[in-house]
Amino acid sequence: MKKNFLYIKNFHLSVVGFFLFFLSFLTFNYVTYFNNLVINRMTSVVNVIDNKLDNYHSTIDDLFNKNISDCSKSMIFFRKLRVSNPDIQSINIIKDDAIVCSSYPYIIGYKNRIENDTNIDLLMSDFLVPNKFILIIKKTKNKYSIVISVRDLTFTNLVKLSEGDLNFNINTDKFRVNSNGVDISNKTPDSILVHSDLYPFSISTNIPIYVYTKNFLQDKLEVLIVILFFMIVYLAFYFKFRNCINTTFLMENGLLNNEFIPFAQPIVNEKGIISGFEILIRWKRNNNIIYPSDFISIAEKNGMIIPITLSLFKSVYEMCVEYDSLIPKNTHLSINICPDHLSNSNSEGLIKVCKLFSVFNNINLVLEVTEGQVIEFDGIVEAVDTLKGYGVKFAMDDFGTGFSTIENIKKLKADIIKIDKQFIDLIKDEKSETAFVDNIIDLSKRLGVSIIAEGVETKEQEKYLLENNVEYLQGYLYSKPIPLNNLLDSYY
């Protein structure tokens, strides 16, 4: 059983590990996929800007092919260019580090602010759009330089259209500007950059976790639903059987530590004299007593009921050996078993422990077959006959509940019927509904089997049962279940 428990535990760990691995794998692949998607969008922005810059450089080349020394003629051409290219903010001709011609005549004569030969740069405007960035495209030929300034919105709007729920930024050697045209050069550098191969600028961004999460949930919703479904099914399975798994482990330790101990409740005859007792198992764990209702059903499901019951038989046998000389003759000793104990695969162990009791001349061993399981008679007939050969008697426990039938009594060759407490509780006064109890009593007489009434708690119940010739009584009216060694000390 311990191996089975470990297999189950390892299975759960494997399932959890698989889901974690699969989710991690899916997350990693999606992060990579989404990063590539963003990079492709940024690359598209870079390509569009490159094309625009190429066009501006072509415009400057066209200007150099004209007579730029004549400012009046150049200004006419400047105006036509600005009409056809509304993105262009100004066109300037520079000579000897001064503006000698411009589409804005009032800046003619001003000193040139572009101090290097960079063919593209971001500058803060002083005249045209104060405190706003403008893109500068510069080209020099002979003694002249032509400088075109482009509105920041030309590029920031392009970036804004492509960034979606991210923040794309434009970078040069000197500045970093966001899609609103705000200088963010003092901010922490972005982690993802796409550089232009033609011009000294790049587009950059950071991808926050919430963006990954949002897009992951949108793009992989179907996959997540499938994963969630299987997780719910698995968790339902796990929580349903968790107590069973944990209890199995505790039961195995309990067997090793002899935590399952025999209690006993006296059985009296019609004269009120103790004629025997029923063994009732208790689980003593950490000085606390756990009752059968809290673990027997689990033990029947996980198979622990077999080794636990056999362990109980051995404990009872050892105590009977100790008190053998004090126990009266014909003492009735009953122990509960489930039908599985009589199956071909389990009967050998049961027969072995029951055979031990054959050495006692003063004890009549009775096996009370519980009614919580269907009895498969094809597999137990041989075991029943063998046990009968050792003088073991059989009782149908809790008759009237579970799967008990008259046919079971016959096939099991039962010697005793036990009336369950729930029917004894119906005996309260003369008007009580006792028809079912009466039928069981009548049935026992017809079948020639003895009868024991369980759960007798009042004198009224005792009186009614004795008047109806019930031979044996058991219940709190006589004694609560107490440890077997205490009962033997008290009565013998």
Question: Does 467 fall in a domain?
Answer: yes
CATH code at position 296: 3.20.20.450
Residues 303 and 425 in one domain: yes
Same structural domain, 309 and 376: yes
Q: Please give the pLDDT value at position 2.
A: 43
| Residues 303, 156 within the same domain | no
The DSSP call for residue 414 is -
- Expressed in angstroms, the distance from the first to the final Cα of the chain is 39
CB atoms within 10 A of CB 217: 10
Rounded to an integer, what distance in angstroms lies between the CA atom of residue 478 and that of residue 184?
A: 90
Our count of domains for the chain comes to 2
pLDDT of residue 1: 44
Q: Is residue 298 part of a domain?
A: yes
Residue 413 placed within a domain: yes
List the 169-171 sheet strands across, edge first: 176-178, 169-171, 202-205, 192-195
Give the pLDDT means over successive 10-residue stretches in the chain (492 positions).
52 76 86 93 92 87 85 86 84 89 86 64 54 78 86 81 88 83 86 90 92 85 78 73 68 90 95 93 91 87 90 94 90 92 86 93 92 64 89 87 68 88 83 80 89 93 92 94 90 70
Residues 44 and 184 in one domain: yes
Query: What is the Cα–Cα distance from 242 to 362, expressed in whole angstroms?
Result: 45
Q: What are phi and psi of 379, to 5 degrees?
A: -100, 0
Q: What DSSP state is assigned to residue 183? A: B
pLDDT score, position 468:
92
Would strands 416-419 and 192-195 be described as parallel, antiparallel, or unpaired? Answer: unpaired
User: For residue 61, what pLDDT is reported?
Assistant: 87
Question: By the 8 A CB rule, do 487 and 266 touch?
Answer: yes
Residue 363, sorted as left (phi over 0), alpha (psi -120 to 50) or beta, turns out to be beta
How much is the pTM? 0.55
Asked if residue 224 is part of any domain, the answer here is: no
Q: What is the dihedral sign for C-alpha 252, 254, 256, 261?
A: negative
Question: Per the structure block, which two tokens stand in for 464?
Answer: 């009614």
The pLDDT, as a whole number, for residue 3 is 46
Answer for the pair 216, 35: CB distance below 8 angstroms, yes or no.
no
Q: Contact, 23 vs 227, CB < 8 A?
A: yes
- φ, ψ (nearest 5 deg) of residue 383: -65, -40
Q: Is the dihedral of CA 477, 395, 305, 350 positive or negative?
A: positive
Q: What is the pLDDT of residue 32?
A: 92
Q: Is 272 within the bounds of a domain?
A: yes
Pairing of strands 450-453, 416-419: parallel
Q: Residue 65: exposed, middle, or buried by beta-carbon count in 10 A (0-12, 13-18, 19+)?
A: exposed
Q: Is the same domain home to 279 and 387?
A: yes
- Domain end call among 178, 210, 242: 210
Residues 309 and 415 in one domain: yes
Q: Which residue segment(s) compose the domain that 382 sits in?
A: 258-491
| pLDDT recorded at residue 470 | 93
Q: How many CB atoms lie within 10 A of CB 391?
A: 14
DSSP strand pairing (274-285 vs 472-473): unpaired
The b-or-e profile of 450-462 (16+ CB within 10 A means b, else e) is: bbbbbbbeeeebb
From 188, 210, 232, the end of a domain falls on: 210
Pair 278, 182 in one domain: no
419: which strand partners? 399, 453
Strand-pair partners of 254: none
Per-position DSSP letters for 1-64, written without gaps between them: -HHHHHHHHHHHHHHHHHHHHHHHHHHHHHHHHHHHHHHHHHHHHHHHHHHHHHHHHHHHHHHH
What residues contact 208, with CB distance under 8 A and at least 6 apart? none
How many residues are given for the chain? 492
Has residue 71 been placed in a domain?
Answer: yes
Question: Are both 284 and 196 inside the same structural domain?
Answer: no
pLDDT reported for residue 279:
96
For residues 304 and 200, membership in a common domain is answered with no
Q: Does 329 share its domain with 200?
A: no
Distance CA 192, CA 204 (A): 5
Examine the domain organization and report whether 198 and 265 are in the same domain: no
Same domain, 192 and 307: no
Instruction: Collect all residues with Cβ–Cβ distance below 8 Å to 24 and sequence separation of at least 6.
Output: none
In the numeric block, which tokens belong to residue 85?
Answer: 């290219």
In terms of Cβ atoms closer than 10 Å to its own Cβ (0-12, 13-18, 19+), residue 218 is: exposed
Q: Which residues are paired to 335 by β-bridges?
A: 279, 367
Domain's final residue, options 181, 210, 239: 210
- Would you say residue 217 lies in a domain? no
Pairing of strands 472-473, 450-453: parallel
Distance CA 133, CA 117 (A): 19
- H-only helix segments in 65-151: 71-84
Residue 92 lies in a domain: yes
Q: Rounded to whole angstroms, how far apart are CA atoms 306 and 299?
A: 8
Residue 88 near residue 154 (C-beta atoms within 8 A): no
DSSP H/E element including 268: strand 260-269
Q: Which two tokens stand for residue 255?
A: 């067997």
